[in-house]
Structure 1
Amino acid sequence: QIKAWLDRCSSHPDCGRPGYGQEGRAVPQPQLPYRVLDLGQTPDAVVKLAETSQWEDSRRHAEYACLSHCWGDSRPDCITTRENYEKNKRGIELSRFSKTFRHAVALCRELGFRYLWIDSCYIIQDDEADWRSQSAEMCNIFKNATITVAAAASRSGDEGCF
């Protein structure tokens, strides 16, 4: 059902995706956030934290999904810190993700999204300067996402999206 809604929206003349806004004006595809999770092109059990600022300009413009979630009392093992930043860029095993994060990855892959933004993976959690600069971008990150997966009924990452 979600795929049908996305297809309907992307072909609707007033939605502005892909490529056209109000009154038929061309709208550039939004740029990816500074960091995203690269889900890859196959259903691997590993995803990578990608720093998009290092990419060619043409590759930095792509559709992506966001996850809106509640941490609750759980602290996902996959959150990005100064200590594991480089390791997360090489790959994060899905087994380190909370149930909510795993559900979001599975849904995004099913819908054909390669990139997913999750705040706790995106922002270096123990770096105050990164937190200040990157959290200031959250409004634009959510605004430019093609879809936001909202795990609204979950009180923690252990409950999942569904």
Structure 2
Amino acid sequence: MTMAATDFTALPYRPCAGVMLLNREGKVFVGQRLDSTTEAWQMPQGGIEPGEDAETAALRELGEETGIASDKVTLVAAAPDELRYDLPDELIGKLWGGRWRGQRQRWFLYRFTGDDTDIDIRTAHQEFRAWRWVAPTDLPAMIVPFKKALYEQVLAAFANRLG
């Protein structure tokens, strides 16, 4: 069963938090999603639980997706504004039980103070099949197309802290 396109606008945005994680060389952590058949890479991000603040959610998601403990990161900045993206029409109703039209996200920039050996994507909530460090400018080309504008906004939010 699909909804008419006009019904999508009535759906709310899923509250989420994201982490742009920089290593000592100024490169950004990305993981390749397990549930995607494309070469889609993304930064750690996920839903904010009821009663949880955005930064707590960001650190929880970072741990759940990368195995990185919160004592291995230092907060550099928080994006001043909440950022949003809409799912493509063909995915609305298929993802998240059809409850959301997209996501509204709070983004945080962290410096990774650990070593690569502190990263283990084989977590209890594994979401990534592979990971790597990339130049921040490479991010928009690596993400699924419908999130490209969002990643450009994340880069703009942290531009004065990168490179």
TM-score by length of 1: 0.29
Compare the two structures and name the one with the higher strand fraction: 2
Compare the two structures and name the one with the higher helix fraction: 1
Relative contact order, higher structure (CA 8 A, sep 6+): 2
